[in-house]
Structure 1
Amino acid sequence: MKAVRIRAFGDPEGLAVVALPTSVPAGNEVVIAVEAVGVSGADALIRRGALAAYGFTEGFIPGNEVAGTVTAVGDGVDASWEGRRVWAFTGTGGGYATQVCVPIEQVLPLPSALSPVDAVTVGGSGAVAHFALRHARFTPGEAVLVRGAAGGIGVMAVQLAARAGASAVAVTTSSAERGDRLRRLGATHVLDRCGNGDADAPAGYDVILDIVAGDGLSAFLDRLNPNGRLVAVGAVGGPPPADLGSKLMARFQRSLSFATFSAATVPAADLQAVRRDQLDAAARGELTAVVHDVLGLEQARLAHQKLDAGEVFGRLVLTP
């Protein structure tokens, strides 16, 4: 089998295609012949070495979601899984490969109407967006702002907030063209990266999902309504400023809340239930899989170059 490893932390040139032994399932595992791999911003952070303190070392194989066909099952797994089309969460990584071994609890059957490429575009990002909105205690009728809405999580958050009855779904993005595409997904107002540019946008928001973080995060505290909640779902722009706490306390009278969110804190069974529902919804055409580009596994460097350049709208997918 082939896989893409992080040979050296840093730029995309540190990614290398390597040959590895054929996968053999352990007990309670299946082997999946990979047909599509989702590429995420987290993969880029790992490749740069930004998450080395969390145990991601050089030699790591990125990719946490795949779709394909089960080719072998381990002890304890029903033999009927063999030959089935599936989506799977591979854990923290391992997906950039032609084969993966995955615990059966992390595997879902693919709806017949859903392609592997669309599955890895919806499966992981959609569940993160769903539970991030829940973490923010979003309720129908509230106004939502998605900061950094053009990525995989952002485009799903826009769709889910609109479907759930938000009174407004504003987005920040980098161009008018991206804004038009986000409107077609359910956005009602389009702002520039600083949160300006639409005179008709709400003056304040009950919920802000922030996928960017970085030094600009604290400025969006002033976009929150009283009792508003800002949830950091990602950090593609780096960590929030060190004085975020003092800035939040300076707005004490407005009862604002700041929180972080990671899907790692959600029970696995709950994640799988939402992923199943969303894959079914995508198969019915109720959710849109937004695919920026489909590249071969050997083009992983190019995929990461696109991520680093900020070119991606939706999701990049690798196909071994």
Structure 2
Amino acid sequence: MKNLTIPRLYCPFSSVLNPHTDAVKQHTDQWVIKFGLCFKEDFERYNANNYSAFTARFYPNADYDQLCIASDLVALLFIVDDHIDSQFAESAVEKEFALRQFIEKFMTVINPKIELQTTQQFENPVFIALADVWSRLICISRDEWIRSFVKEIEYIFAAAIWEYQNSFKQLPGVEEYLEKRRYAGAANVSLALIQPIEKNYLPEFAKNHVIIQKLSEAACNAICISNDLFSLSKEQLSGDKHNLPSIIKNEQNVTWEEAVLLTAEIHDTEVNKFIALSKELPSFDEETDQILKRYTNILELQMAGNIAWSESETARYPFTYASVVS
């Protein structure tokens, strides 16, 4: 297959880099080494992926301590995502069983009803590192948020199982895929972390408002769809068909080039939907309205930050933009 190019995506927002970026990267690099999350031969690739810059663009106003927590957790989730296949390289049945066991242990660490007395019970460094960053995260978070966040992690792993099972049957349709994609891509976690990391707690009655839910969904979709385009070349090399261009090509029987353009159109539609919804935000009380205004701005920063990071700050996604014919 010839190399595919992708069109530039519509995103009329600015991105901001947290001023603590360099210091936080040094911290997270040492944290990854301390807990043995990267073997020596993998560290160069980890360093080139530059996950700390990703986090710094998603939470540009966070204090140093808060940003360190987010950076460590995001790096851990990226590392888990990258290594999960190689960790479970058995037969299909054994692989799913091992994956479910991994998820069960992960959820045990973050279960607020279980008090872990020691991490000695874990051999996998992922769980030891998780226990460390989780203990720091709950110290800066509200109890109701912690319970809600555990649910968001459950959604991620449910999507991981769904995605794994899809690899043995017909690919899902576009609608089903998009419904699950924000969980498979952990965009829901990025949104949830806004509250303790940026210290911007949107009240439940506001968060559950239909317009705000649609606003958050549009931002998540835009981030995940752009990621599907940025990572397309990488996933083609690995044979992974679980991305929107592949889903569209399969469902609509179009060429790769057409599938890529249709994917970009869906991304741009989600951004325009976000813009329209941001002009229709409900009004509550003065304090809540200010929190909502800041929340909306952070979503804008995340959409723009994801593109800025993918374009020039990470080696994770090798892609080329299509030339614009004037």
The normalised TM-score by structure 1 is: 0.29
User: Which structure would you say has the larger RCO, counting Cα contacts within 8 Å and 6 or more residues apart?
Assistant: 2
Per residue, is there more strand in 1 or in 2?
Answer: 1
The normalised TM-score by structure 2 is: 0.29
